[in-house]
A = this chain, B = another copy of it.
Amino acid sequence: MAKVQDCYLVVDAWKIVEDGFHPEKSRVSESLFSLSNEHMGVRGYFEEEYSGDTLIGCYLNGIYEEHALKEPTTYKGISNRIAFMVNTVNWLHARIELGGECLDLNRSRFSGFRRELDFHTGQVRREFTWTTKAGQELKVGFSRFLSMKTNELGFGRISFTPLNFSGPITVTLGLDFALPHEMYRRNFWDCPRSDAQADRWAIIGVSKSIEHKLFAGSRLLSAESITSQPVCGDKFAGSRLTLDLAQGQERHLDRATVLFTTRNPHDAAEDTWARGSRILDGLANAGYDEALEENRAYWTSFWDKADISIDGDPEAQQGIRFCIFQMQQTYRGAVEGSNIGAKGLTGEAYNGNAFWDTETYCLPYYLFSNPVAAKALIDFRFRTLPQAEERAHSLDCAGACYPIATIDGTESCTLWQHASLQFHPTTSVAYAIWHYARITGDLDFLHTEGIELLIPICRFLASRGQWSPRSNGFGYYAVMGPDEFQMMVNNNCYTNYMAQRTFLYTLSVLADMEEAAPGARHDVMRKLECSADELASWQNMADHMIIPLDPATGIYEQHQGFFDLPHIDVDAIPVEDFPLYHNWSYDRIYRNDMIKQPDVLMFMFLYSGSFSLAQKRANYDYYEPRCIHESSLSPSLHSIFAVELGLPREAFEFFNFATRIDLDNYNRNTAEGIHITSIAAAWMNVVYGYGGMRSDGDLLAFNPTIPEHWQSYSFRVSYRDSIVRVSVSQTEARIELMAGAPFAALVRGEVREINTDGLVLAQGRA
Contact = CB atoms under 8 A, between A and B. Distances in A.
Contact of A561 (B416, B560, B582, B590): B560
A contact residues, range? 35 or more
Contacts of A396: 584-585, 588
A360 B436 CA distance: 59
Interface in A575-615: 581-588, 590-592
Contacts of A586: 75-78, 416, 420
Chain multiplicity (copies): 2
A437 to B, nearest CB: 32
Contact of A477 (B477, B490, B566): B566
A71 B70 CA distance: 7
Contact of A564 (B394, B471, B590): B471
A567 B583 CA distance: 39
A165 interface: no
**Most chain-B CB neighbours within 10 Å: which of A466, A477, A564, A566?**
A564
A592 to B, nearest CB: 8
Contact of A584 (B76, B490, B566, B567): B76
A744 interface: no
A567 B466 CA distance: 9
A566 B421 CA distance: 17
A563 interface: yes
Contacts of A581: 75
**Most chain-B CB neighbours within 10 Å: which of A471, A490, A592?**
A490
Interface string A437-472: 000000000000000000000000000001111110
A567 B586 CA distance: 30
A70 B71 CA distance: 7
Interface string A544-567: 000000000000000011011111
B77 A565 contact: no
A564 B488 contact: no
A588 B395 contact: yes
Given A470-B564, A581-B75, A420 B70 contact: no
B564 A395 contact: no
A93 to B, nearest CB: 31
A591 B487 CA distance: 14
B466 A76 contact: no
B564 A468 contact: yes
A416 B584 CA distance: 14
A395 B566 CA distance: 18
A478 interface: yes
Contacts of A582: 76
B566 A470 contact: no
A487 B478 contact: yes
Contacts of A584: 76, 396
A591 B75 contact: no
Interface string A399-424: 00000000000000000110011000
Contacts of A71: 69-71
B590 A488 contact: yes
Given A466-B566, A490-B564, A478 B590 contact: yes
Interface in A50-92: 69-71, 75-78
A488 B488 contact: yes
Interface string A726-762: 0000000000000000000000000000000000000
A228 to B, nearest CB: 46
Give the 5 A-B residue pairs with the shortest CB-CB distance, closest first. Answer: A466-B566, A77-B585, A477-B591, A478-B591, A75-B586
26 contacts: A71-B71, A75-B586, A76-B585, A77-B586, A77-B587, A77-B588, A78-B586, A394-B585, A395-B585, A395-B588, A396-B584, A396-B585, A416-B586, A417-B417, A420-B585, A466-B592, A468-B566, A469-B564, A469-B566, A469-B567, A470-B564, A477-B565, A477-B566, A477-B592, A560-B561, A561-B561
